[in-house]
Structure 1
């Protein structure tokens, strides 16, 4: 299998990290209680718990969006993304 995308998002509440699996109704997900942005180490651990790892040379990228599309007066949603691959010997 090639690379997939992992995303992490929060609208000020709990952080969610999930693996984007197109065509699937449920995506592997890890949640953190609300608080600061999960550290790089916490994200690696979460990915590993799902059977994935950051792909070689991949880096997290960040964007912001509005809770309501095209309405910048609503709270900001932060979204991060990174390319991932299945861990060696893992079956996700």
Structure 2
């Protein structure tokens, strides 16, 4: 069995698409996402939707955890905290539930 492993997308849609284009050339049986789909970049919804379409197994990352549990935000650096707060406001309900 061949796995396609994706991690630390951080809402960077262009990078995610580039990785997926490369992985299309491989004979991937199953995708695994090791977290941090969201954070920093400008495309959180699009990135979550891409990962959802892959039907991959997903491990929650600290940025997803921050979106879902704002009480942990003091543990993030100021830039990450701002990105997480923005992401929480931007995410569509279906994508938030997926996280």
TM value normalised by structure 2: 0.27
Query: Normalized per residue, which structure has more strand?
Result: 1
Query: Normalized per residue, which structure has more helix?
Result: 2
Greater relative contact order (Cα < 8 A, sep 6+): 1
TM value normalised by structure 1: 0.28
